[in-house]
Amino acid sequence: MNGDKSSATGAKPAVVETMNDLRLGAARKRLAESSGQEDAIEGVREIVANFLGSEEMGLFRVDRRTETFEVFWSFGIDLEQYDLLRALGDTGLQRVMRGECHVDLGTRERSGAMAKAQAFVPISVADQTIAILAIFRLLPQKVAFDKSDMELFKLLSDEAAKPLFGVTGHAAPRTEGPGVRM
Amino acid sequence: MSKKILVVDDSRTALMMEREILERRTTYQCVTANDGQEAVEKAQQEHPDLILMDVVMPRMNGFEACKMMRQQASTREIPIVLVTTRGEESYMEAGFQSGCNDYITKPVNGTELVALLQSYLGE
């Protein structure tokens, strides 16, 4: 016996919802209640702006057949000339294609004419990255991403694919390495 | 009788979050509006004890709604807290000139928001 009354009686321990739980719950509900692709995109924009503190973002679709990335949508920033592969680098690309978030912990300054992304969030389905959400300049009052933001990245990564692209379930087995180049 | 807060935002995500915070962390009643125009109308109908309002919204923005509510006898005295992504001093100044009582920036810290609301309405 471990002396845990709730275990002994079979009762669940009281769950205390933190503010972060409420935030995650609101984000999850917003994505799940999206009425279509356009509304889902708006939902992602709202989540990034309201909860993560950035009004510059872009979504890149991964085309495994042609092994390219394509700008699918952007907000607050022109990504026409943006070189996603260069921005990610080999390590970053491998991480994101493995389904891990890649957060830039370096400078917040802009590099050259193009803004520097602060975070790359894989949008995944069945363990396969089908798109990448890049989050650029943070609002002046947002110093940096914190631990709770990582949980929100994870939620976007796991739950945004269906409302954004209408895809669920069974993808091909993950390939070794990134499997995508430009 | 519980105090009533009118939450105004065109973002469904922000409304969901603020409603969740109010319902789970306070005893305040929550009513919502999606833009400044609707906020002015709801404020007259609902007589809230406080208004928590976004600034950038379609139809009528938060500054305009705030000014309009300050011109009407029934809403003149209601505390208004503006919520926005814009934290620049000039923008905040414009907020206070429109007649708001307080100004907070997004991303909203839930704990700080509750403390601010309690400072106006009590627990």
Measure B38 CA to nearest chain A CA, in Å.
20
Any A CB within 8 A of B94 CB:
no
Distance in angstroms (rounded) separating the CA atoms of residues A50 and B81: 16
| pLDDT above 60 for A178 | no
Helical packing angle, A147-159 and A37-47, nearest 10°: 170
Q: Do B85 and A26 touch (CB under 8 A)?
A: no
Q: What is the pLDDT of residue A43?
A: 97
* Bridge partner list, B103: B82
Q: Which of B17, B87, B105 is the closest to A26 by Cβ?
A: B17
Q: Do A19 and B21 touch (CB under 8 A)?
A: yes
Residues in chain B: 123
- Give kind and range of the element (H or E) at residue A28: helix A19-32
Q: What is the pTM of this model?
A: 0.86
What tokens does A103 get?
A: 């957060």
ipTM of the predicted structure?
0.91
Q: What is the pLDDT of residue A8?
A: 47
Q: Which CATH number fits domain B4-121: 3.40.50.1010, 1.10.10.10, 2.40.50.140, 3.40.50.2300?
A: 3.40.50.2300
**Where do the domains of chain A lie?**
18-165
CATH class belonging to A18-165: alpha beta
Q: How far is CA B11 from the centre of its chain?
A: 13
- Give A51's contacts in chain B (Cβ within 8 Å): 13, 17, 107
Distance in angstroms (rounded) separating the CA atoms of residues A148 and A145: 8
Distance in angstroms (rounded) separating the CA atoms of residues B91 and B98: 11
| pLDDT above 80 for A179 | no
Written as one string, the DSSP assignment of B13-28 is HHHHHHHHHHHHH-S-
User: Tens of pLDDT along A88-106?
Assistant: 888 888 899 999 999 876 5
Amino acid at A120: F
**Residue whose pair of structure tokens reads 């319902």 in the numeric block:** B23
Q: Do B20 and A26 touch (CB under 8 A)?
A: yes
**Residue whose pair of structure tokens reads 């949508």 in the numeric block:** A73
User: Tens of pLDDT along B41-100?
Assistant: 999 999 999 999 999 999 999 999 999 999 999 999 999 999 998 888 888 889 999 999
**Where do the domains of chain B lie?**
4-121
